[in-house]
Amino acid sequence: SPSQLRSNIKMREKTLTMETLNPQVKAVEYAVRGPIVLKAGEIERGLQQGQKHPFTEVIKANIGDAHAMGQKPITFLRQVVALCSFPELLESPSFPEDAKVRAGRILQGCGGQSLGSYSASQGVDCIRRDIAAYIKQRDKGVPADWDNVYLTTGASDGIVSILKMLVSGQGLSRCGVMIPIPQYPLYSAAIAEMDAVQINYYLDEDHCWALDINELHRAYLAAKEHCHPRVICIINPGNPTGQVQSKKCIEEVLHFAFEENLFVMADEVYQDNVYSTDCQFHSFKKVLYEMGPEYFNTVELASFHSTSKGYSGECGFRGGYMEVLNLDPEVKAQLVKLLSVRLCPPVSGQAAMDVIVNPPLPHEPSYPQFHEEKSTILGALAEKARMTEHILNAVPGIKCNPVQGAMYAFPSIFIPPRAVEEAKALGMPPDMLYCLRLLEDTGICIVPGSGFGQREGTHHFRMTILPSMEKLKVLLEKLRDFHIKFLKKYSSLEELER
């Protein structure tokens, strides 16, 4: 009856409320797309609708999204993807032969020769073989078995899958996951979602964000009191910190993992993004190999790569892979089973990954253009890395380590005590207040260091070096002017004179 219905309505509460929501979902934080970025979106929509701001555009330096910042796609990669998407183009004279050969080969590997078929859960066989060949070449001959290679939906998907396998236990045997601080917040988010224990090891800001083995020991021993550390995550080159690890440092980490029976997760998505001429990328796998079979045949290691970074910057394709060493065979079957529930990674992302590991060779027709595009992009990134460091270090109260690799600067910033107090009163971390004011004043969107983790009492922000040289220069100058104004506004006279 209607009256009964009405009483039901009054009584009907929502099933899904903040009170009933999965508490592990509530615990997740993801600063790279957090409150500052949501606010930037609001302002952007406001600008489009004619709202007035002290600027005409929002510059998003919050996320490593190269194409959104104007970087052009690698022509060859897109040709191969277009050919795979619409195979009639294989007849077109406007596509180069080497692109056609690659597309034809990928399609041969797809069910019904179509990008529209599910691939195997681990990915298309021939792409996995290409990835193994790439890894072997990259690592100067270290053997790579394609059976250990899994295509993923971006690197994030692989990282979450491996963590999901590892997380178990309650109380003292609850799984502990060692992560660097500062970290890429995917790690803290996944750990929160899975209700594992986050074990922080702090990178050494005074030494270019290097990983200090003593700090690893400290963090491990402290964590052992209340959980069971089972995994160590390393990001190399570093995100958000931009350091490139030395071979010696990687050896120390691997030795430590060997001794303490830790599963090693090596996030190596920036392996092509090394700018400092005195740095070089060493894969964890190659270093493990060089430590001898005692290590190479025992340490469980997963390494992650992606189409989203490097010189291609193809984030939207959600391509990636992981190579997993020394996995117990039964566990491997469990991993495949777990991956099979989501059927397969996007096949066009797999195709994009294939081009990255199997680019045009010097004798092929597309090589000159490919080589030119690739070196232009990487050259510009190296230049922007240096410029960012220099301009930031010239600002009083900002201190920036060299951007040796990856795509970000993560400078420390001095925030005057009065600003710290104001932030406290507003219930936000001081560097969030800083980034918010910067956004409101200049339209520049960057992410507060608190979203990545930092030593108590220090403040940072992360910005990408991806805008074009001209835009990045303007951005850095605006940032400098804002910073000086911010210091003035919140500093007492004595502080200013000091």
**Residue from the set 40, 100, 109, 119 that interacts with its own copies by CB under 8 A:** 119
Q: How far is the CB of 348 from its own copies (least distance, A)?
A: 5
- Per CB under 8 A, does 326 bind its own copies? yes
Interface stretch with its own copies, choices 322-330, 363-371, 388-396, 477-485 (CB under 8 A):
322-330
> Interaction with its own copies in 79-118: which residues (CB under 8 A)?
79, 81-82, 85-86, 89, 92, 94, 110-112, 114-118
Q: Which helix (H) or strand (E) holds 156?
A: helix 154-166
**Residue from the set 189, 274, 356, 392 that interacts with its own copies by CB under 8 A:** 189
> Interaction with its own copies in 143-182: which residues (CB under 8 A)?
153-154, 156-157, 160, 164-168
> How far apart are alpha carbons 281 and 271 in whole angstroms?
6
> How far apart are alpha carbons 400 and 8 in whole angstroms?
61
**Residue from the set 63, 135, 151, 219 that interacts with its own copies by CB under 8 A:** 63
Beta-ladder partners of 408: 464
- Per CB under 8 A, does 6 bind its own copies? yes
**Residue from the set 44, 47, 53, 78 that interacts with its own copies by CB under 8 A:** 78
- Per CB under 8 A, does 373 bind its own copies? no
**Residue from the set 42, 51, 57, 70 that interacts with its own copies by CB under 8 A:** 70
> How far apart are alpha carbons 121 and 124 in whole angstroms?
8
**Closer residue to its own copies, CB minimum distance, 276 or 312:** 312
- Per CB under 8 A, does 259 bind its own copies? yes
- DSSP labels for 306-363? ESSSTTT--TTTTEEEEEEES--HHHHHHHHHHHHHT----HHHHHHHHHHHSPPPTT
**Residue from the set 49, 56, 206, 341 that interacts with its own copies by CB under 8 A:** 341
- Per CB under 8 A, does 263 bind its own copies? yes
> How far apart are alpha carbons 158 and 339 in whole angstroms?
9
Q: How far is the CB of 474 from its own copies (least distance, A)?
A: 18
> Interaction with its own copies in 404-443: which residues (CB under 8 A)?
none
Interface stretch with its own copies, choices 275-283, 345-353, 370-378, 429-437 (CB under 8 A):
345-353
% helix, strand, coil for the chain, step of 5? 50, 15, 35
> How far apart are alpha carbons 321 and 149 in whole angstroms?
7
**Residue from the set 251, 267, 300, 354 that interacts with its own copies by CB under 8 A:** 300
**Residue from the set 1, 3, 14, 427 that interacts with its own copies by CB under 8 A:** 14
Interface stretch with its own copies, choices 77-85, 217-225, 395-403, 408-416 (CB under 8 A):
77-85
Q: How far is the CB of 80 from its own copies (least distance, A)?
A: 9
By rule CB under 8 A, what count of residues binds its own copies? 102
Using an 8 Å Cβ cutoff, are 215 and 204 in contact? yes
Beta-ladder partners of 150: 322
Q: What are phi and psi of 27, to 5 degrees?
A: -75, -15
- Per CB under 8 A, does 26 bind its own copies? yes
Burial of 412: CB neighbours in 10 Å, binned 0-12, 13-18, 19+: buried
Binding mask 217-236 for its own copies (x = CB under 8 A): -------------xx-----
Q: Which helix (H) or strand (E) holds 257?
A: helix 247-259
- DSSP labels for 381-402? HHHHHHHHHHHHHTSTTEE---
Exposure string of 347-365, with b = 16+ CB inside 10 Å and e = fewer, is bbbbbbbbbbbbbbeeebe
Q: How far is the CB of 16 from its own copies (least distance, A)?
A: 5
Beta-ladder partners of 302: 265, 324
Interface stretch with its own copies, choices 202-210, 270-278, 294-302, 474-482 (CB under 8 A):
294-302
**Residue from the set 47, 101, 120, 484 that interacts with its own copies by CB under 8 A:** 120
**HSE of 266, CA atoms in CB hemisphere, 13 A:** 28
**Residue from the set 47, 53, 55, 67 that interacts with its own copies by CB under 8 A:** 67
Q: Which structure tokens are listed for 462?
A: 């992360």
**Residue from the set 318, 374, 459, 462 that interacts with its own copies by CB under 8 A:** 318
Q: How far is the CB of 72 from its own copies (least distance, A)?
A: 8
> How far apart are alpha carbons 241 and 184 in whole angstroms?
9
Burial of 116: CB neighbours in 10 Å, binned 0-12, 13-18, 19+: exposed
- Per CB under 8 A, does 21 bind its own copies? yes
- Per CB under 8 A, does 33 bind its own copies? yes
